[in-house]
Structure 1
């Protein structure tokens, strides 16, 4: 988003934190006094102090989230004094605390805030985070209501978010559907980017965050059911909180011949990985909040002209069925997932190519980046 807006002539500044996800420690090359200010593709990047998330325990995450909110708000104060901004976009996959610096600038300088909601709170805190304390959940309900009230527009990545947001107040006139898109480097990038050698066989590839929401438990159960089908290979590209579980499961159930953990790679490598996959896998846990969510990886899969197998409910499943680009099973139904993967592995190359072509067509019509950014420019230019 930042690079495309810059390419279109806008002056863009990114306020973010020192990178520390998912390992929980500050990345090599960065630090409290190192690479705090950068220029990347002509975009100014300001990296606020924060305390690293560590192993991701509840207290450590709390400190991580709020340390960024506090330090970034100080940084935002001085940015607001020294610059004139016309709009602020809050990119919110989670947590919502990253809204605080924008709120400060909104209150002090009346800069309109466009809240790009990818994760519903406090629902996500309860479901993905396991928080059940009513005091905490009620507190964050009040917080998010305040953020919605102070937003010029609320941009939603899934149409299903509209109802959940309106349950917290009359925000309907602020809500605008604004879906994810895929990086052009995935669909149009260099397919010769050096990646590890992948195994022979029918390759089922999962790419992206390997976390709680992605239901790795049931992916692994499906892989175990297909253990004797040596031709079917599960390729996992990415990293996240569930990676230790995945590695332990593979070792315990002796799946080293059929499950391959590749680790995390830059986005530039995805084109090479996707090119070598036969089908792409997208999953979410069976939960009301996730049933409203369209995983961002789905657009990436479609942009790469790949068939898709999904184990999820709701709008993401509907997109796949509408596009006629693959097959879906109910969230959590690992037995049906295993059967679907086995049946798909027996399709001809021509049948798989038709599914892949349908993926790309649906992406072009609904999720292309250039159209999404043009829509964003139009939204921002029409301030109330």
Structure 2
């Protein structure tokens, strides 16, 4: 039996898209006969929403997967400052590297999932000190996104050090996994990548996310991280302009760094009866929430550094049989066109309102888009199939080194 260690900054009970992806991947690999251990911090994200703990480590069994929780700094606020944020990002991979140095010989393959970038540290350390194979799983352009969103200054010593570290990781990995072809192209154009690269999309658990036929409500929904990359303010203003005609609610299911700012804006615009913040919901409630909504929203900001992104929430909307309205260019626009399940609006309240209105005025089109989306993700993006592909990579690389 192959032994695999997956290292991730996020894991349930956290509700982020990456937490659910790591959980599904680990469970599916275990079901496929892989001995899986997940290294993750004690639950922290969204920051400030979990009680702090000072336990050095804690081990538990989760649906056939061994989960080892390691201590890291846990920021106490919802939008932490730079120092607190970096302590959270850096102390966990350092702790994971130390843990692996004492336990790494028990594994055949280590999988490190980024972002954040520094999760690659334990994989790099283990690769330098042992014969363990390393899969570097890259989900986004973390450095570029940090610069475009104002967290990192271009040309700063922090950017230079981060890019140097990313190049070191790419030079040592045995396999690089990327979510989309565009992400792979951008990485290859900036860095020297010697390892094979393959597409490992975010995907969706189509057994869990499926249509629930309990009727529709007059609501649209956003389910995911309430963060700096999302143009949620403009969606709220779009709904405000439509409500003389459509009487819609806009549900925001999730939490994150910008929630407090968004709540202040909603109050200032007298939208508290229209825009509903549900907070972070139990995962088992999300499919029902999506299914009873008319449209799912995936409003990425129009930044070149986000053009590689295909948000997990869009797959979840499609799996639950509802159309989605997205904003932004690149992969999300490609997904909308390829699947036939989404439409893209410009990043203005007026354009979003016009796109939503056109959909709501055509129920037959919405139903057809929902059907197409469900069929598309079941065929191309089911997480069981993605895990099977990963298992084949694991077996291939460990067989060649045997």
Tell me the TM-score normalized by structure 1: 0.90
Distance in 2 (alpha carbons) for counterparts of 1:241 and 1:340 = 28
3-state SS of the aligned residue for 1:36? strand
Distance in 2 separating the partners of 1:50 and 1:177? 30
Rounded to whole Å, the distance in 1 between the matches of 2:45 and 2:250 is 24
Q: Which residue does the alignment assign to 2:73?
A: 51
Query: 2:133 — aligned with what?
Result: 112
Match of 1:91 in 2: 113
Is the contact made by 2:40 and 2:67 (CA closer than 8 Å) also made in structure 1?
A: yes
Question: Which residue of structure 2 lines up, in the alignment, with residue 354 of structure 1?
Answer: 368
Give the stretch that moved more between structures: 14-23 or 122-131.
Answer: 122-131
Once the two structures are superposed, the pairs formed by residues 205-284 of structure 1 within 5 Å of their partners are 205-229=221-245, 231-284=247-300
Equivalent in 3, 16, 28 of residue 4 of structure 1: 28
> Is the partner of 1:187 in helix, strand or coil?
coil
Contact 1:311 1:333 in 2 (8 A): no
* Unmatched segments (≥5 aa) in structure 1: 193-197
- Alpha-carbon distance, 1:188 to partner: 4.2
Distance 1:317 1:167 in 2: 22
Shift of the alpha carbon at 1:264?
0.5
The number of equivalent residue pairs is 371
- The DSSP-based 3-state class of the residue aligned with 2:171 is helix
For residues 205 and 151 of structure 2, the distance between their equivalents in structure 1, rounded to whole angstroms, comes to: 32
Say whether 1:335 aligns with 2:350: yes
Cα distance in 1 for partners of 2:153, 2:343 equals: 34
Q: 2: distance between equivalents of 1:16 and 1:220? A: 35
Q: Report what 1:101 is aligned to.
A: 122
* Alignment of structure 1 residues 113-262 onto 2, 5 Å: 113-134=134-155, 135-171=157-193, 174-184=196-206, 186-188=208-210, 202-229=218-245, 231-262=247-278
How many Å separate the matches in 1 of 2:46 and 2:358?
Answer: 35
Partner residue of 2:390 out of 370, 373, 376: 376
The 1-side partners of 2:150 and 2:97 are apart by 25
Measure how far apart 1:274 and its partner are.
Answer: 1.1
Q: Does 1:289 align with 2:322?
A: no
Shift of 1:169: 3.0
* Inter-partner Cα distance in structure 1 for 2:282 and 2:61: 19
Structure-1 residue corresponding to 2:360: 345
Q: Is the 8 A contact 2:57 2:70 kept in 1?
A: no
* Structure 2 residues without counterparts, runs of 5 or longer: 1-24
1:195 aligned residue = none
Distance 1:312 1:225 in 2: 21
Q: Secondary structure at the match of 1:46?
A: strand
Classify the secondary structure of the residue corresponding to 2:278: strand
Q: What does the per-residue CA deviation read over 1:208-249, in whole Å, with 9 as the maximum and x for residues that have no partner?
A: 111001122322332333343451221111111111122111
CA-to-aligned-CA distance 1:193-216 (integer Å, 9 cap, x gap): xxxxx9x85311110111001122
Cα drift, residue 129 of structure 1: 4.7
How far the C-alpha of 1:259 sits from its partner, in A, is 1.2
Separation in structure 2 between the aligned mates of residue 286 and residue 191 of structure 1, nearest angstrom? 34
SS in 2 for 1:180: coil
Contact 1:166 1:172 in 2 (8 A): no
RMSD: 2.2
More displaced stretch, 114-123 vs 204-213: 114-123
Q: 2:40 aligns with which of 16, 19, 34?
A: 16
Q: How far does residue 365 in structure 1 lie from its aligned partner after superposition?
A: 2.1
Distance between the aligned counterparts of 1:53 and 1:375, measured in 2? 36
8 Å Cα contact 1:121/1:141 also seen in 2: no
- 3-state secondary structure, aligned to 1:91: strand
Q: Which moved more, 1:333-342 or 1:34-43?
A: 34-43
**How big is the shift at 1:303?**
1.2
Return the offset for 1:65. Answer: 1.2
